[in-house]
Amino acid sequence: MLPVTIGIIIGGIISCQTAINSRLRAFIGSPYQASFVSFTIGTLFLALVTLASHQSLGVSSQLLAQEPWWLWIGGFLGVIFLTTNILLFPHIGAVQTAIMPILGQVLMGLLIDTFGWLTATQQSLTPARFIGVILVLIGILVTVALPDILQHQTTTTTSGNPWPWRLLGIIGGALGAVQTTINGHLGVVLHSAVHASFISFLIGAMTLLVIVFVVDRNLSHIANATGHGKPWWIWLGGLLGGIFVLGNTYLAPILGTGQTVVFALLGQLTGGLLIDQFGLLGAKRNPTMPVQFLGLLCLVGGVILIRLF
């Protein structure tokens, strides 16, 4: 029961990180520089935790030589997942930008566990688990998309064929699930979830630094988030992101990628609804609709089926 609780809690943490990073991005202006700040702070936090646990920050050349190349790309995949969300929004709108990556995460998590990809422990796809996955997807759609449909809000902001962008969103979400699996296995190899999370964040921060200098050509926008009137907590997003990745890295070998993703999504959606309901962390207050609670109940039912069967 403890791993399940941890999964839900870190999902709630990531919803807080999303709200915090949105404020940071509003001050900085550049989404890439805001993401770089978040990754850098997360890297420093995980470095301190790694050192405090009396472990080295590096890895041996022998380990680099004997392990598969894909073991080291978790941070890179995390950046792709993050950047995909930034690119999707202008083309398919907020609702589909939220839904498509989640769909990719859930489906890829199911495939990884069912076929034992990337050294994951194989878990049979029983009829009950399949029904559970369907309930999870329905619950996500009802919680995230249905309220906007009922209010007749458009989900597409530009003209053109949206399907390539939808497919990109699904692929980005799938890579997020792959990242969870890779980081989990790296934690097993290094005998430390903290060390593995640090390496993932470090690679992610280095990747984002390259993107920033290609797109923005400098880091000058970061100064916009400093000075009078800027809340101190806008700098905590990276720390929360570090905790989230650390939790996923710890849970993936225990629960499997699919369950880790689903429990985190349950916490994320619940946390997101609470933030909207009460306007927490500077978010615009957006009262929760009754149908969204029904969606959460459907999601919980699916989670129970996946966990117990």
183: closest CA among 233, 234, 242?
242
Percent of the chain with pLDDT over 90: 71
The mean pLDDT value for 22-27 works out to 90
The mean pLDDT value for 285-305 works out to 90
Per-residue pLDDT at 82: 86
Handedness of CA 9, 104, 279, 274 (dihedral sign): negative
Per-residue pLDDT at 152: 60
Q: What DSSP assignment string belongs to 164-220?
A: HHHHHHHHHHHHHHHHHHHHHHHHHHHT-HHHHHHHHHHHHHHHHHHHHHHHTSS-G
Per-residue pLDDT at 206: 98
* Segment among 42-56, 140-154, 242-256 with least mean pLDDT: 140-154
Q: What is the pLDDT of residues 194-203, one digit of tens each?
A: 999 999 999 9
Residue with tokens 């915090």: 20
Angle, CA 288 vertex, CA 282 and CA 293 arms, to 5°: 135
Per-residue pLDDT at 89: 73
Write the CB contacts of 4 (distance below 8 Å, at least 6 apart in sequence): 255, 263, 307
Per-residue pLDDT at 256: 95
* Segment among 2-6, 143-147, 198-202, 225-229 with least mean pLDDT: 143-147
Q: What is the pLDDT of residues 136-181, one digit of tens each?
A: 999 988 988 887 777 665 545 555 788 899 999 999 999 999 999 9
CA distance 241 to 93: 24
The mean pLDDT value for 66-82 works out to 95
- Longest Cα separation, the chain: 58
Residue 88 has pLDDT above 90, yes or no: no
Q: What's the mean per-residue pLDDT of the chain?
A: 91
Query: Where along the chain do its domains lie?
Result: 2-308
C-beta of residue 7 within 8 angstroms of C-beta of residue 251: yes
Per-residue pLDDT at 168: 94
Residue 75 has pLDDT above 80, yes or no: yes
Residue 101 has pLDDT above 70, yes or no: yes
Per-residue pLDDT at 92: 82
Per-residue pLDDT at 153: 57
Note the pTM of the prediction, 2 decimals: 0.90
Per-residue pLDDT at 90: 76
